[in-house]
Amino acid sequence: MSKKFQISLIAEASDNVGYGHAIRTGILATSLREKGHKVNHYVLGSKINNKIFRNTKFIDNSKKVSQKTECIILDFYNNLKKSDIYHFKKQTKKIISFQDSKNNNKLKFNGLINFKKKDYNSKSNVKFFYGLKYLILGENFTSKKFKKKDYIFLCFGGSDPLNQIPKYLNWIKLSKIKKKIYVAIIKDSKKLSKFKKDNQVKIFINSRKLEKLMGESKFAICSGGNILAELLALNKNCLCISLSRNQRKFVKLFSNNSNLNYLGDYKNISRKNFLHKFNILEKKVFSLNPKPINKFGAENLSNDLTNWLIDQDQKNKTKVFNKDDIIKDYEKSFHKKPLYKKLHWGSAASMKSRHNFLEQIINFKKVSSWLDVGSGDGSLQKLILNKFDSINCLGVEISKKLHSLSKHRKLKNFKSINDDFINLSLKNKFNLVTCHGVLSKTNFSLKDFLKKSNLMIKKNGYLVFDITNLHWKKFENSNFFKEPAHNWFNPYEVKKLINNLKNFKIIKILGLKSGKNKKIKIKDTHSVFYVLKKI
Ligand X SMILES: C[S@@+](CC[C@H](N)C(=O)[O-])C[C@H]1O[C@@H](n2cnc3c(N)ncnc32)[C@H](O)[C@@H]1O
CA 50 and chain centroid, separation: 29
Closest contact distance (angstroms) between CB of 370 and ligand X is: 12
In the bound state with ligand X, the residue whose beta carbon lies nearer, of 373 and 512, is: 373
Q: What is the rounded CA–CA span in Å between residue 403 and residue 367?
A: 23
Size of the site for ligand X (CB under 6 A): 24
CB 120 → ligand X: shortest distance, Å? 38
Interaction between residue 236 and ligand X (CB under 6 A): no
Residue with smaller CB distance to ligand X, 248 or 451: 451
Q: Which of 237, 379, 381, 454 binds ligand X (CB under 6 A)?
A: 379
Give the binding range for ligand X (CB under 6 A) out of 20-28, 95-103, 433-441, 449-457: 433-441
Which lies closer to ligand X via its Cβ, residue 299 or residue 359?
A: 359
In the complex, least distance from residue 437 CB atom to ligand X, rounded to whole angstroms:
3
Q: Are 405 and 377 in contact (CB under 8 A)?
A: yes
510 to 77, 286, 358, 360: CA distances (angstroms): 48, 55, 11, 11
Applying the rule CB under 6 A, the residues between 137 and 156 that interact with ligand X are none
Q: How many helices (DSSP H) and strands (DSSP E) are in the chain? A: 17, 21
Q: How far is the CB of 365 from ligand X (least distance, A)?
A: 20
DSSP letter, residue 15? T
CB of 108 to ligand X, least distance (A): 41
201 binds ligand X per the rule CB under 6 A: no
Region of 503 on the Ramachandran plot (φ > 0 left; ψ -120 to 50 alpha; else beta): alpha
Q: Which among 124, 65, 72, 130 has a CA at the least distance from the CA of 97? A: 72
Using CA atoms, how far apart are residues 101 and 109, in angstroms rounded to an integer? 9
Q: Judged by CB, which is closer to ligand X: 241, or 402?
A: 402
Q: What's the burial of 291, exposed, middle or buried (CB within 10 Å: 0-12/13-18/19+)?
A: exposed
CA distance 104 to 302: 23
CB of 318 to ligand X, least distance (A): 15
- 71 SS3 class: strand
Q: What does the alpha-carbon distance between residue 241 and residue 259 come to, in Å, rounded to a whole number?
A: 14
Nearer to ligand X, 129 or 449 (CB): 449
In the complex, the smallest distance separating the C-beta of residue 345 from ligand X, rounded to whole angstroms, is 6
Nearest to 417 by CA among 400, 433, 396: 396
* DSSP per position, 264-326: EEGGG--HHHHHHHHHHHHHSPSP--SSPPPS-HHHHHHHHHHHHHHHHHHTTPPP---HHHH
Q: Which is nearer to ligand X, 269 or 394 (CB)?
A: 394
Q: Closer to ligand X at the Cβ: 308 or 444? A: 444
Q: How far is the CB of 316 from ligand X (least distance, A)?
A: 23
* CB of residue 480 to ligand X, shortest distance in Å: 21
Among positive and negative, which fits the CA dihedral 359, 360, 366, 372? negative
Helix, strand, or coil (residue 194): helix
Q: Which is nearer to ligand X, 106 or 408 (CB)?
A: 408
Contact pattern from residue 466 through residue 485 relative to ligand X, giving x for each residue in contact according to CB under 6 A and a dash for the rest: --------------------
Q: What one-character DSSP code corresponds to residue 93?
A: S
Applying CB under 6 A, does 498 fall inside the site for ligand X?
A: no
What DSSP string describes 223-275? ESSHHHHHHHHTT-EEEEEE-SHHHHHHHHTTTT-TTEEEEEEGGG--HHHHH
**Contact flag: residue 443 with ligand X (CB under 6 A):** yes
Q: What is the DSSP string of 381-402?
A: HHHHHTT-TT-EEEEEES-HHH
Q: How far is 217 from 109, CA to CA, in rounded Å?
A: 39
Binding mask 318-347 toward ligand X (x if CB under 6 A, else -) reads: --------x---x------------xx---
Nearer CB in complex with ligand X: 186/373: 373
The C-alpha atoms of residue 153 and residue 169 are separated, in whole angstroms, by 12
Q: Nearest distance from residue 395's CB to ligand X, in Å? A: 9
Contact positions with ligand X (CB under 6 A) in 343-372: 343-344
| Interface with ligand X in residues 385-424 (CB under 6 A) | 396-399, 402, 420-422
Which helix H or strand E contains 373, and what residues bound it? Answer: strand 369-373
Binding mask 259-298 for ligand X (x = CB under 6 A): ----------------------------------------
Q: Least Å distance between CB 409 and ligand X?
A: 13
Which of the 8 DSSP states describes residue 87? Answer: H
Candidates 374, 461, 491, 511: give the one binding ligand X (CB under 6 A).
Answer: 374
Convert residues 42-61 into a mask of x (bound to ligand X by CB under 6 A) and - (unbound).
Answer: --------------------
**Residue whose CB is less far from ligand X, 280 or 320:** 320
Which residue is at the shortest CB distance from ligand X?
Answer: 374
Please, are residues 512 and 466 in contact by the beta-carbon 8 Å criterion?
yes
461 binds ligand X per the rule CB under 6 A: no
Measured distance CA(122)–CA(119) in Å, rounded: 9
128/340 with CB nearer ligand X: 340
Catalog residues that contact ligand X under the rule CB under 6 A: 326, 330, 343-344, 373-376, 379-380, 396-399, 402, 420-422, 436-438, 442-444
